Amino acid sequence: MAKTVTVGVFDSGLGGLTVLKECVRVVPRARYLYLGDNANAPYGSKPEEEIFALTLAAVNKLRRRGADVIVLACNTATAVCLDRLRAQFRFPVLGSEPAVLPAARAAKDVLVLATPCTAKSPRLAALIARCPGCRFTVFPAEGLAGAVERWLLGGVPLRLGDHLPAGKFDGVVLGCTHFVFLRKEIAEYYRAPVFDGGEGVANRLKTVLFDRSRKIEGIGSHECLELDNRRIPPNSFQKTTKNAIIFLGSSKNANKCVYKQMFDNIFPYNSTKKCKKT
Ligand code: DGL
């Protein structure tokens, strides 16, 4: 019998919902588990060993709940943990990285906003080194991910000017998945195009699932053989989001509430309904 592939998506909190939305759009036939560790968010200034321990626990939890593939929907966890997780496990682990390459194709003077851990990571330095024709300013926006959590879950007002550096740039990379909730506002703040990695992660997921469906025994005939977009009915996003995303962890209700309000077109955004961090 066909098996629907299960994708485990992890972030320190709400940010990964922006990646989940892209994955659901690009790969609507999968089943999704979302685990946000909001109780411990933000991760971005924590010691690396602590981030690794928290991420490893989350990956193990998603595996126990049946995830075939893990998506680290968190630039910080990717920068700190991806290589170690891939060395440790045989199942596919996908990461999220700042969209430096797409930005460098479109702009010459680029601001990269990231958490402190991502900002100082060798992974980011390696990406930037691949774009010698572009000038990059990397800014560790230390408090911004936490402010996004408080804004979306507690209604605490967020002032961009408290978090962003001054300057003129012709492109801005959102190198933290939490910042994607502020995509429009940040684009207006700098009057520049913004770039994030969500769609790239989703496309990578599609490729990995397609390859797995051909190569890996036991997942042989699962539904993702039908990943070809032409065979996915246009309304499958609505159908899938209603039934096929399971939110896990102590903040599952909060993450589900924000996802539904922000992204689920069955329940359009309703700013009067508050999501609570429970
Ligand atoms: N959303 C995460 C990222 O992409 C982490 C933010 C945080 O917890 O500091 O980096």
50 and 171 together in one domain: no
107 and 189 together in one domain: yes
82 and 155 together in one domain: no
The pLDDT value recorded for residue 83 is 96
Distance 50 CA to ligand 1 centre (A): 14
118 lines ligand 1 (CB under 6 A): yes
pLDDT digits (tens, 9 = 90+) for 128-149: 999 999 999 999 999 999 999 9
Radius of gyration of the chain (CA): 18
Q: How far apart are the first and last CA of the chain?
A: 38
Q: Using the atom order of ligand 1, give the atom closest to the CA of residue 114.
A: 10
Of 157, 177, 195, which closes a domain?
A: 195
pTM of the model: 0.88
184 and 118 together in one domain: yes
Does residue 268 fall inside a structural domain? no
The pLDDT value recorded for residue 237 is 39
pLDDT digits (tens, 9 = 90+) for 224-265: 333 333 333 333 333 444 458 999 999 999 999 999 888 865
**Region class of 196: left (phi > 0), else alpha (psi between -120 and 50), else beta:** beta
The pLDDT value recorded for residue 210 is 78
Does residue 273 fall inside a structural domain? no
Weakly modelled stretches of the chain, pLDDT under 70: 1-3, 211-243, 264-273, 278
37 and 116 together in one domain: no
78 lines ligand 1 (CB under 6 A): no
Which residue, 179, 90, 184, is CA-closest to 140? Answer: 179
The pLDDT value recorded for residue 3 is 66
Q: Using the atom order of ligand 1, give the atom closest to the CA of residue 74.
A: 4
Residue position matching structure tokens 């592939």: 5
The pLDDT value recorded for residue 229 is 34
86 and 209 together in one domain: yes
The pLDDT value recorded for residue 231 is 34
What's the CATH number where 87 sits? 3.40.50.1860
Query: What domain range is 163 assigned to?
Result: 100-195
The pLDDT value recorded for residue 95 is 97
Contacts of 30 (CB under 8 A, 6+ apart): 4, 5, 6, 7, 23, 209, 223, 224, 244
86 and 215 together in one domain: yes
Residues in the chain: 278
Element (H, E) at 262: helix 252-263
Number of domains in the chain: 2
The pLDDT value recorded for residue 2 is 55
191 and 204 together in one domain: no
The pLDDT value recorded for residue 53 is 98
The pLDDT value recorded for residue 216 is 39
Does residue 275 fall inside a structural domain? no
148 and 175 together in one domain: yes
